[in-house]
Amino acid sequence: MKKLILFVAVSLLSTASLFAQTLNVKSGNVTYQFSADKAGLMPFSGVNNFSIQNFDFNVSEVSSMMVDNDEVIDNMVKVIYDNTTAKVYVAGNIAPYISVSLTGANVVIDQSADVNDSVGEITYRLSGTSEDGSFVLNGSYKASIELNGLTLTSMSGAPVDIQSGKRTAIRVVEGTVNTLVDAATGSQKGCISCKGHLEFKQKGTLNVTGNKSHGIYAKEYIEIKNTKINVLGSIKDGINCSQYFAMESGTLIISGNGDDGIQVSFKDDTNREAEDTGSFTLSGGTINVTSSADAAKAIKADGDVYIKKGTIVASTSGGGIWDADKLKTKASSCIGADGKVVIDGGSLTLKSSGGGGKGISCDGEFIVNDGEITIETTGGMCAYVSGKINQNYTGNADNLNSDYKSSPKGIKCDGNVTINGGSLKVNTTGKGSEGIESKNILTINGGTINIHAYDDGINSSSTMYINGGDIEVLSKNNDGIDSNADIYISGGVLRCFGASSPECGIDVNSPYAVYFTGGCILGLGGSNSAPSKTASTQAYVLSGAKPTAGSTVTIGTASETYYSFEIPSDYTSSAGGRAPELSPEFGPGGGQSSSNGLIISVPQLQSGTIYTIKYGTSSTTATARLTGGGSSF
């Protein structure tokens, strides 16, 4: 039986190839292909003309007509590059709609404006190799370009130049490697340049090098599904597009970019279409950007950034610059958005090492609902002083106008910061670097948050709400959490570690207050702020105890432990200072005090009751209270 099947299969294959009959009409380097089944009657008109499938030929332009067994695929144009030449094959059914100009291996296709839904989309299949070739597509209807093993270098412009303003699907055939390199001269905006929108599809590999400007440029949106794209180098952005960028799956690797990795702009400044959002959306796949240019963003959106699934690994090593037009410093960032940043899932690993470099920077809101985010910044403060940019400014920056300095930060957000879930780990080591900074309201409702920072761990310019989550915040040289307005803590687990007095674990600027209404809270540092208003309803204890790195602090009665707090292994601050009773000028609720270097609040505490605090091998007692005893600066 197996032999019979094999025989049938072999017969089938040989038969199939025999039955495909095609009439190839060659005119110059262009061959028009007509299926014998569809050629029908081919009438002659006079002595000069004949037509096939309504496409007219002049006999003087026909060099040969051959019948072979090639298969004709309707609506297909095949371009095969062969060093200094190219051969073009046009399917007979669309011959009336295709005009081909060919100079060497530079192919220009004019797709007729008559192509419409009735004619259907035309696919251009490109293959072969040329060190001096290109493909230019003019048209006004959507089209597909199929990259089927293409190695193409242009000596004068873009190897793939799509002048159509409509959608062009770039189908990168699975199992093929395609490499495009553009010229260092010319007017092209990208190695792949498109005046419409681009949709990359299929699972092949596409290597792109942009020697004049961007690696890939589209005047409108770019979508990626399945394709593996390597932007190996670009004078400007790795990918530059307008309207939006959306990636569903596949792999995008960008390196050697002279500016941003991916930049998404608005297409129009006014009267924007609904899809003109300027947004970046990742819903799957992997993006890896290594950016070394000064003040560059690995991912930059004029609108919002949405990360739903997938993986982003991004690093920036470029330093800050002085923007002479805007008269302000400008620094690198792994993700930068003029709008909001919303993370619903996925994995982000972001590293920034340049002066003033940030993990995430946004002008709008920053919202985390889920996902795993790891951010590391190692750069110092970028400052413009005496007409020179300094990448690691160590002078007193307090006297510098904010436009003249750019501090490194894990997350810097001009809008509200809201964390509802997920895992967020931030480590900043450069001078002046904060973990998370919100210029507005900061709210934590859930998630696992671990922040170790050189400067403030979490800083908000407006009210801070902590309603849930498991939060560890450590500042080496400033406050664990620092609000320029009230702090409301109602739930979750919060461990805040700050530096020596006047810094602290929990810091509220006067005249604002901290409110404890729930949660398990530990603040350790020089002089913590403590509740001072009667609206704070959960009792706390203050102590001058000095837990050491890696130890455990517990709160409870002599016989029962209510809660245990772990002290981070890299905690180095000593909670020094003076007791408030020795410094009456600070009064209740404020003072540089060793007695408030440690503050603990858990739901079990009752005001007026004495509790036991154990730390390492030591222990002490403290009386719980509802207000007073803290500091406020």
Partner 1 sequence: MKKTLFSLMALMVSLGASADYQSMQFNLLSGEQRSIPSASLSMRFENGNLVAQSGSEFLSIPISDLSSMEFADKTESAVFNPVVSSTSISEVYSVDGKLMLSNISNPKVLNSLPAGIYVVRKSDGSTAKFAVK
Q: Which residues bind partner 1 (CB under 8 A)?
A: 1, 4-5, 8-9, 11-12, 15-16, 19-21, 23, 35-37, 39-44, 46-48, 50, 59-60, 62-68
Residue 461: partners with Cβ closer than 8 Å, 6 or more residues away: 438, 439, 440, 484, 485
* Residue from 283, 293, 308, 300 nearest 367 by CA: 308
Residue 353 phi, psi dihedral angles, 5° rounding = -120, -5
Residue 511: partners with Cβ closer than 8 Å, 6 or more residues away: 632
Smallest gap from residue 249 Cβ to partner 1 (A):
32
* Residue from 62, 72, 67, 77 nearest 33 by CA: 72
Rg (CA), the chain: 33
Number of C-beta neighbours around residue 286 at 10 A: 18
Number of C-beta neighbours around residue 434 at 10 A: 27
The two tokens of residue 208 are: 């792109």
- Indicate the residue among 43 and 387 with the shorter CB distance to partner 1: 43
Smallest gap from residue 93 Cβ to partner 1 (A):
14
Distance (Å) of CA 186 to CA 157, 189, 232, 401, 630:
5, 9, 20, 42, 67
Residue 402 phi, psi dihedral angles, 5° rounding = -60, -25
- Indicate the residue among 36 and 184 with the shorter CB distance to partner 1: 36
Smallest gap from residue 74 Cβ to partner 1 (A):
14
- Indicate the residue among 5 and 274 with the shorter CB distance to partner 1: 5
Q: Are 245 and 268 in contact (CB under 8 A)?
A: no
- Indicate the residue among 20 and 535 with the shorter CB distance to partner 1: 20
- Indicate the residue among 55 and 244 with the shorter CB distance to partner 1: 55
- Indicate the residue among 34 and 366 with the shorter CB distance to partner 1: 34
Q: Are 202 and 173 in contact (CB under 8 A)?
A: yes
Q: DSSP for 188-230? A: -SEEEEESSEEEEESS-EEEEEESSSEEEEESS-EEESS-EEE
> One-letter amino acid identity for 188?
Q
Smallest gap from residue 32 Cβ to partner 1 (A):
13
Smallest gap from residue 1 Cβ to partner 1 (A):
6
Smallest gap from residue 175 Cβ to partner 1 (A):
24
Smallest gap from residue 39 Cβ to partner 1 (A):
6
Smallest gap from residue 43 Cβ to partner 1 (A):
4
How many angstroms separate the CA atoms of 92 and 506, rounded? Answer: 76
Smallest gap from residue 46 Cβ to partner 1 (A):
8
Smallest gap from residue 5 Cβ to partner 1 (A):
6
- Indicate the residue among 23 and 487 with the shorter CB distance to partner 1: 23
456 CB-contact burial (10 Å; exposed 0-12 / middle 13-18 / buried 19+) = buried
- Indicate the residue among 40 and 587 with the shorter CB distance to partner 1: 40
- Indicate the residue among 48 and 402 with the shorter CB distance to partner 1: 48
- Indicate the residue among 27 and 583 with the shorter CB distance to partner 1: 27
Ranges assigned E (strand) in 446-526: 448-453, 458-460, 464-466, 470-475, 481-483, 487-497, 506-508, 514-524
How many angstroms separate the CA atoms of 274 and 271, rounded? Answer: 9
Residue 582 phi, psi dihedral angles, 5° rounding = -90, -5
- Indicate the residue among 21 and 551 with the shorter CB distance to partner 1: 21
- Could you tell me the end-to-end alpha-carbon distance of the chain, in angstroms, rounded to an integer? 90
- Indicate the residue among 27 and 255 with the shorter CB distance to partner 1: 27
How many angstroms separate the CA atoms of 486 and 535, rounded? Answer: 12
Smallest gap from residue 60 Cβ to partner 1 (A):
8
Smallest gap from residue 47 Cβ to partner 1 (A):
5
CB contact burial 329-342 (16+ within 10 A = b; e otherwise): bbbbbbbbbbbbbb
Residue 265: partners with Cβ closer than 8 Å, 6 or more residues away: 240, 241, 242, 278, 302
